[in-house]
């Protein structure tokens, strides 16, 4: 009996203590807010926000609610995180592999790249890209076209907009392509296991991706027009582009800084993963007659990924949380729009900060869940 109590009692006390602290803070906050005449509640979310946001993925104006403003900020945070994660992964893999190159120049340039961008504080890099690099860009009327129809200016990067007819048919065709590739690759695997024959799945897939969506243009009635950005005069000396899509310089600077910074950490994860595979593995693979490509694809990478994925997940989480530095350069992310403007206009500090914290927590947990699922999928399956 004594043993049982000894085991359980400390745990009960710990739980009570944690609850007590939490309760005390809630109680304290309530008393203080009461004293100062501050109400607690989430009713403000349905009120009209009456402020505008520079850049939004969904329709939004000041006549929408604070809840909608929250959504605008959330989507902007997700957008910048998503783009940066893709870029940092691509760059990270390239530089991670390059650091192991047998070529002296490539190996050392990659090492310099990693050491340079990893060791400068992220906020400084954001300021650099925004104030120094992007500010060196021309004003709209002096911007020459890049690739014919896009314009890089101090007010943003203007690209043609896409004007679709029968977009849905095009999207269905892509869906059909994805489904058929999955079916073909499963079938190919079966054939290989049963008969040892290899089917060039990669080339078939590549063909499908191009041919089927292209067909919809000819027989599906799909057509695509481009809205070309056109220069418009605002006053004697100031111009702006109209038509087309304008990517704000804030977004570009943020994506640059976040992906360059995080890519260095991803590169190190990739290097660690590849170096973690024993030399004997490659030699054994070579001795059974696999080509260097097959060795990388079938022997090294599947094992290296197991080492790469968990620390890379951390980097993705860091990147997402770091995106909140956006507020420094006026990119309307969750922190700027919701924990900034909305907080100021409503004064609901506790409510808004807790919503924002919960949101970041959920985003991080979601990313972690996806990566853990992928990690499970590739880890050693004991038979």
The smaller minimum CB distance to another protein, of residues 237 and 287, is found at 237
The smaller minimum CB distance to another protein, of residues 37 and 144, is found at 37
Q: How far is the CB of 244 from another protein (least distance, A)?
A: 12
Q: How far is the CB of 160 from another protein (least distance, A)?
A: 17
Between CA 213 and CA 174 the distance in angstroms is 6
What sections of the chain are H helices per DSSP?
A: 2-35, 66-98, 104-118, 122-127, 167-195, 201-219, 249-275, 279-287, 292-294, 301-322, 334-336, 343-346, 349-378
Q: How far is the CB of 24 from another protein (least distance, A)?
A: 7
Nearest to 77 by CA among 332, 271, 345: 332
For another protein, the binding residues (CB under 8 A) are 2, 5-6, 9, 13, 17, 20, 24, 28, 31-33, 35-38, 50-54, 62, 131, 135, 139, 154-155, 232, 234-238, 240, 242, 248-250, 327-330, 332, 336, 340-341, 343-347, 349
Residue whose pair of structure tokens reads 């992928």 in the numeric block: 374
What DSSP element (H or E) covers 53? none
Q: How many residues does the chain have?
A: 383
List the Cα angle 34/35/41 in 5-degree steps: 25
The smaller minimum CB distance to another protein, of residues 42 and 116, is found at 42
Q: How far is the CB of 37 from another protein (least distance, A)?
A: 5
Residue whose pair of structure tokens reads 């990270």 in the numeric block: 92
The 3-class SS string of 268-304 reads HHHHHHHHCCCHHHHHHHHHCCCCHHHHHHHHHHHHH
Q: How far is the CB of 318 from another protein (least distance, A)?
A: 22
The smaller minimum CB distance to another protein, of residues 107 and 155, is found at 155
The smaller minimum CB distance to another protein, of residues 9 and 179, is found at 9
Q: How far is the CB of 104 from another protein (least distance, A)?
A: 41
Q: How far is the CB of 256 from another protein (least distance, A)?
A: 16
The 3-class SS string of 305-346 reads HHHHHHHHHHHHHHHHHHHHHHHHHCCCCHHHHHHHHHHHHH
The smaller minimum CB distance to another protein, of residues 201 and 328, is found at 328
The smaller minimum CB distance to another protein, of residues 320 and 341, is found at 341
Q: How far apart are the first and last CA of the chain?
A: 43
The smaller minimum CB distance to another protein, of residues 26 and 28, is found at 28
Given a contact cutoff of 8 angstroms between Cβ atoms, the answer to whether 229 and 244 are in contact is: yes
Q: How far is the CB of 132 from another protein (least distance, A)?
A: 10
Q: Residues of 46-66 as b/e, b for ≥16 C-beta within 10 angstroms?
A: eeebeeebebbeeebeeebeb
């Amino acid at each position: 009996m004594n043993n049982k109590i000894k085991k359980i009692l400390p745990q009960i006390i710990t739980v009570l203590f944690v609850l007590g602290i939490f309760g005390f803070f809630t109680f304290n906050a309530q008393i203080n807010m009461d004293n100062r005449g501050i109400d607690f509640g989430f009713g403000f979310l349905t009120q009209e926000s009456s402020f505008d946001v520079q850049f939004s993925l969904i329709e939004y104006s000041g006549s929408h609610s604070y809840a909608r403003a929250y959504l605008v900020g959330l989507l902007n945070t997700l957008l910048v995180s998503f783009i940066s994660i893709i870029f940092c992964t691509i760059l990270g893999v390239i530089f991670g592999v390059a650091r192991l190159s047998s070529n002296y120049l490539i190996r050392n340039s990659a090492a310099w790249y990693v050491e340079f961008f990893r060791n400068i504080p992220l906020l400084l890099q954001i300021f650099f890209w925004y104030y120094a690099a992007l500010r060196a860009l021309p004003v709209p009327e002096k911007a020459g076209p890049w690739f014919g129809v896009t314009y890089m200016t101090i007010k943003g990067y203007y690209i043609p907009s896409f004007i679709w007819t029968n977009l849905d048919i095009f999207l269905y065709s892509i869906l059909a392509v994805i489904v058929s590739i999955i079916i073909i690759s499963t079938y190919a695997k079966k054939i290989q296991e049963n008969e040892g024959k290899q089917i060039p799945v990669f080339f078939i897939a590549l063909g499908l991706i191009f041919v089927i969506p292209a067909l919809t243009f000819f027989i599906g009635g799909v057509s695509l027009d481009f809205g070309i950005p056109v220069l418009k005069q605002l006053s004697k000396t100031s111009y702006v582009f109209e038509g087309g899509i304008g990517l704000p310089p804030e977004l570009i600077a943020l994506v640059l800084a976040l992906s360059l910074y995080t890519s260095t950490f991803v590169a190190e994860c990739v290097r660690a993963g590849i170096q973690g595979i024993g030399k004997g593995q490659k030699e054994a693979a070579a001795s059974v007659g696999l080509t260097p490509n097959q060795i990388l694809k079938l022997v090294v990478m599947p094992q290296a990924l197991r080492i790469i994925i968990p620390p890379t997940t951390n980097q993705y989480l860091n990147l997402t949380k770091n995106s909140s530095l956006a507020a420094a350069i006026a990119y309307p992310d969750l922190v700027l729009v919701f924990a900034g403007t909305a907080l100021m206009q409503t004064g609901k500090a506790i409510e808004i900060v807790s919503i924002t914290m919960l949101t970041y927590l959920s985003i991080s947990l979601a990313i972690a869940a996806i990566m853990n699922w992928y990690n499970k999928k590739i880890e050693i399956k004991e038979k």
